[in-house]
Amino acid sequence: MELYNLINTYAEKFIPIFIRVSVMLAFIPFIGAKTTPVMVRLGLSVALTLLLLPVVEVKMDSPVKAIYEAFFIGTAIGLAARIILGAIEMAAQWMSIEMGLGVAAIFNPQFGEVLGPLSLFYSLASMGIFFIFDIHHYFIEALVRSFDMTSIHYNGIFDSIIKLNSLLFPLAFKIAAPVMLVQVLVNLGMGFLSRAIPQANIFIISFPLLIFLGVFFLVVSMPFMIAVMAKAFIHLKDAIMVFTR
């Protein structure tokens, strides 16, 4: 009964807030994944909406404008997180191909496509970093701050997303650089060796070596990769705080 009274009291505000929350959660890593049950996502959206109802103010001069702004802000905040996750997935795909693991591709429900086997490992690692550093708290804070915006600067928010998107390739390269550098050096060495001993099938022999060295340097460089991913998520926090102020 109390829930019904709460929704009835804030009925006009419920739909714009719910749309903003649900759209943002649809882009949030792991929460918005296809593997997450619909009822779980719906329950989280409703719960977060009910928490925000008494504490935020929604401009209801035009209901259509309020709904449009809800879609835009929710998409902008959620897309910022998806860009970072996309860079991590890209790095994992590069390393899988360089290590010769591309043939062992698996279906990744996060993006709905087939990716290398390292993608699942890096997805779980990024999920841990995302929640360990409480980045999800900053998304909730960004939602609350977005309602305090007197006017939405669409061009400024769009430019912020584009600038954040420009970090996708450099971030992916930083994560994959240690493993890819070793793989390139090994391939060059095998190439020179095959010229010196043309009778031996060096490249067939090099496949186990590439996998072994790739896994070895993957483990050795793990602290560096975790530091890079953590810094990226912290930068993401700063970005969403900027375009919701």
pLDDT-derived band at 103, boundaries 50, 70, 90: low
pLDDT in tens, 172-195: 888 888 888 888 888 787 777 777
pLDDT-derived band at 109, boundaries 50, 70, 90: low
Q: What is the pLDDT of residue 154?
A: 67
Q: Which of 164, 183, 177 is nearest to 238 (CA)?
A: 164
Q: What is the pLDDT of residue 14?
A: 78
Residue 213's CB: how many other CB atoms inside 10 A?
Answer: 17
Q: Residue 231: which region, alpha, beta or left (left: phi > 0; alpha: psi -120 to 50)?
A: alpha
Q: Which of 171, 146, 162 is nearest to 233 (CA)?
A: 171
**pLDDT over 60 (residue 85):** yes
Average pLDDT, the chain: 75
pLDDT in tens, 210-245: 778 878 888 888 888 888 888 887 777 777 776 666
The answer to whether the beta carbons of residues 59 and 5 sit under 8 Å apart is no
Q: What is the pLDDT of residue 108?
A: 54
Q: For residues 39 and 57, give the distance between their C-alpha atoms in angstroms, rounded to a whole number.
A: 27
The answer to whether the beta carbons of residues 118 and 101 sit under 8 Å apart is yes
Please name the residues in contact with 117: beta carbons below 8 A apart, sequence gap of 6 or more. Answer: 96, 101, 104, 105, 106
Q: Which helix (H) or strand (E) holds 107?
A: strand 106-108
The answer to whether the beta carbons of residues 19 and 74 sit under 8 Å apart is yes
* pTM: predicted TM-score of the whole model, two decimal places: 0.74
Percent of the chain residues past pLDDT 70, beyond the cut: 79
